[in-house]
Amino acid sequence: MAQENEDGQEKTEQATPKRLEEARKKGQVPRSRELTTTAMLLTAAIALALMGGHMVEQIGRLMHEGLTIERSQAFDSRAIVEALVDAIGDAAALMTPFLLVMIVTAFAAPVALGGWSFSAEAMAFKPEKIDPVKGMKRLFNVRGLVEVVKALAKFMLIGSIGAGLLWHYLPELMLLGRENVSAGLVHTGSILSHSFIVLSASLLLIAAIDVPFQLWDHAKNMRMTRQEVRDEHKNTEGKPEVKARIRQLQREVAQRRMMEEIPRADVVITNPSHYAVALRYDPEKMAAPVVVAKGVELVASQIRTVAVANKVPLYEAPPLARALYYSTEINDEVPAGLYLAVAQILAYIFQLKASAVDGGPTPACPDRLEVSDEFFQGPGTQTGPERGASAD
């Protein structure tokens, strides 16, 4: 049966990335106390097996030095304090590597499962944490049952393995009394370290069961109802009317910027009334002419109006206007297949401007503009060469 929320709706959907991120900020990440406990105990056992002999030797040396002081020092309070401070410093230096290993393990074990997560919100006081009714519910839910089962399993496992180790080492333990003190201590330390490692390693079985359960339980608790998923999607993506308004504003801004570029254009190629494409070309800065504005119907009319107001020449070439409109975007260079036709028009426009300034003869208008069929996409287009009209 699927989990239900407070409204009685079934949580059948997997948690979204946004839901998981919000849960992480609240400190809700998968954690396994068994994994952390096992890692700490096993690390401690291995570290003691590797460093225990040296640590015992050095501790023995410190005790010997501390208990074999000269008679004059025993009655000198300053010397006694200095000796105590030195002993504490040596002991701290001796224990520091072991403590550092344990600290690193304590941080690394939880991070290995749920990643690093520090949440002040999780540390905040919440009245429901001390609510006895909710406490009883937590005690008798599935998680509480699992914790009881884990505790019994650990008790039986550790007890069984401990009894087995005791039975295995019983002959050696009985013979310890016949060894001298030094050899007996070394032998005892070896038995204890090996037993500690075996007992700690046995907890890997509990951790191997607990880790998948914690991951499953966390995923189950993070599940969402379909309504929650829809609400989150709506809040993330925005309401349709808001998104439409944003797109409208974006179009208006883009169109306003486009209109601001028209006065800098060299020519506006028209259809004559349905399409309009404004081109600019600077031989020193551009490899090819660039489309600075384009539009159809009302936008095309606005482009022509702005062009006329700023004395930008209009050139009527229906096939070329449609081809440029469908094959380019704003700030795109003219396609290579339209270079020749555009070059003819720009050459004519530049010559026309030069003749107006110098008073020379009026240049001849290009009689044929070759436009390939591949550039036509719109309805009602005409293919083949068409004579361009004279510029206004």
Residue 380: per-residue pLDDT: 40
Cβ neighbours of residue 312 closer than 8 Å, sequence gap 6 or more: 262, 263, 265, 266, 267, 268, 278, 306
Percent of the chain with pLDDT over 70: 82
| Paired sense of beta strands 3-4 and 10-11, if any | antiparallel
Q: Across 21-30, 160-169, 373-382, which has the greatest mean pLDDT? A: 160-169
pLDDT of residue 182: 74
**pLDDT on residue 388:** 42
Average pLDDT rounded to a whole number, residues 45-67:
81
What is the per-residue pLDDT across 5-17, written as a single tens digit (0 to 9) for each?
555 567 777 887 7
Distance of CA 21 to the CA centre of its chain: 9
Q: What pLDDT, on the 0 to 100 scale, is given for residue 337?
A: 83
Label residue 382 by pLDDT band (50, 70, 90).
Answer: very low
Q: What pLDDT shows up at residue 52?
A: 78
The pLDDT-based confidence of 117 (bands split at 50, 70, 90) is low
Residue-wise pLDDT for 317-350, tens only, equals 888 888 888 888 888 888 888 888 888 888 888 8
| Angle, helix 181-221 to helix 77-114, in steps of 10 degrees | 40
Helix (H) or strand (E) holding 314, with range, is strand 314-316
Per residue in 223-269, pLDDT tens? 888 787 777 777 766 666 667 777 778 778 878 888 888 888 889 99
| Cα Dmax for the chain | 128
Q: What pLDDT does residue 278 have?
A: 92
Q: How confident is the model at residue 121 (pLDDT cuts 50, 70, 90)?
A: low
> ∠ CA 335-338-339 to the nearest 5 degrees?
90
Residue 384 has pLDDT above 50, yes or no: no
Higher-confidence residue of 131 and 377: namely 131
**How many alpha carbons fall within 13 Å on the CB side of residue 124?**
7
Is there a contact between 204 and 5 (Cβ–Cβ < 8 Å)? no
Whole-prediction pTM: 0.49
**pLDDT in the model for residue 137:** 62
* Dist. CA 40–CA 370, nearest whole Å: 81
